[in-house]
Chain A
Amino acid sequence: MENPTPEQVAQALAELVQDALMRGESVEIPGLGTFYVNHRGSTTERLPDGRVVLHPPCDLPAFTPEAS
Chain B
Amino acid sequence: MPEALINRLAERLGCSPEAAATALRQFVEQLHQQLEQEGQANVAGLGRFIRTEQGLQFEPDTSLAQAVNHRFAGLEPVTVEPPATQPYRKTEVVPPEEEPAEKASPFYEVTGEQEAEPVSPEAVAQEPEPAAEEHHPEPAPEPEPVVDTPQPAPQPDEPPLRPPRPPRIRVEEDRRRGLPVWIPAALLIVVFGVVAVWLLFFSQPSPREAVPPAPVRAETEQSPAPETTVTATATPAVTDTVSAATEAPPAETSAPVPPPTDNYALIVGSVTSQRAAEQLAARFRRTLSEHGLPVTIVTVTSNGITRYRVAVGRYSSPEEALAAKRQLGEVLPPDAWVLRLPSTMQ
- Complex contact A4–B19 (CB within 8 A): yes
Asked if B55 CB lies within 8 Å of chain A CBs, one says yes
CB of B187 to closest CB in A, whole Å? 49
Stretch from B38-46, B195-203, B319-327 contacting the other chain? B38-46
- Give 1 or 0 for each of A32-65: 1 = CB within 8 Å of chain B CB: 1101010000000001001111111111111101
A58-B79 CB under 8 A given contacts A15-B12, A16-B9: no
In the bound complex, do residue A37 and residue B80 qualify as a contact, i.e. CB atoms below 8 Å apart?
no
Tell me whether B101 is interfacial, beta carbon within 8 Å.
no
Q: What residues of chain A lie closer than 8 Å to B25, measured between beta carbons?
A: 30-31
Q: Check A21–B5 contact: CB distance below 8 A.
A: no
Q: Is B23 within 8 A of A9, CB to CB?
A: yes
Report A3-35 CB contacts with B as 1/0, cut-off 8 Å: 110101111111111100110000111111101
Contact B19 A13 (CB under 8 A): no
Specify the chain A residue showing the minimal Cβ separation from B16: A2
Within 8 A of A (CB), among B26-66: 26-32, 43-47, 49, 55-58, 60-61, 63-65
Q: Is the CB of B45 within 8 A of A18?
A: yes
In the complex, B69 has a CB within 8 A of chain A = yes
Would A54 and B80 count as touching, CB distance under 8 A? yes
Q: Which of B43, B57, B77 contacts A10 (CB 8 A)?
A: B43
A21–B70 Cα gap in the complex (Å)?
A: 10
Query: How far, in whole Å, are A65 and B50 apart by their CA atoms in the complex?
Result: 11
Interface size on B, residues (CB 8 A): 53
Q: Decide: B56 and A60 in contact? CB cutoff 8 A.
A: no
Q: Which residues of B contact A63 (CB under 8 A)?
A: 47, 49, 56-58, 60
Q: B23 to nearest A CB, angstroms?
A: 5
Q: Which of B115-151 contact A (CB under 8 A)?
A: none
- B43 interface neighbour in A14, A22, A60, Cβ under 8 Å: A14
Contact present for A50 and B72 (CB under 8 Å) = no
Decide if B80 touches A51 in the complex (CB within 8 Å).
Answer: yes
- The docked-state distance in angstroms from the alpha carbon of A60 to that of B60 is 9
How far is B43's CA from A12's CA once the two chains are assembled, in angstroms?
11
1/0 per residue, CB under 8 A from A, across B1-31: the answer is: 1100100110011111001100111111111
7 CB < 8 A contacts A-B? A4-B13, A4-B19, A30-B1, A32-B56, A53-B77, A61-B68, A62-B60
Q: Measuring CB to CB, which residues of chain B are less than 8 angstroms from any residue of chain A?
A: 1-2, 5, 8-9, 12-16, 19-20, 23-32, 43-47, 49, 55-58, 60-61, 63-65, 67-72, 75-82, 84-85
Additional A-B contact list (4), CB under 8 Å, known A2-B16, A16-B12, A56-B72:
A1-B14, A1-B15, A9-B9, A32-B28
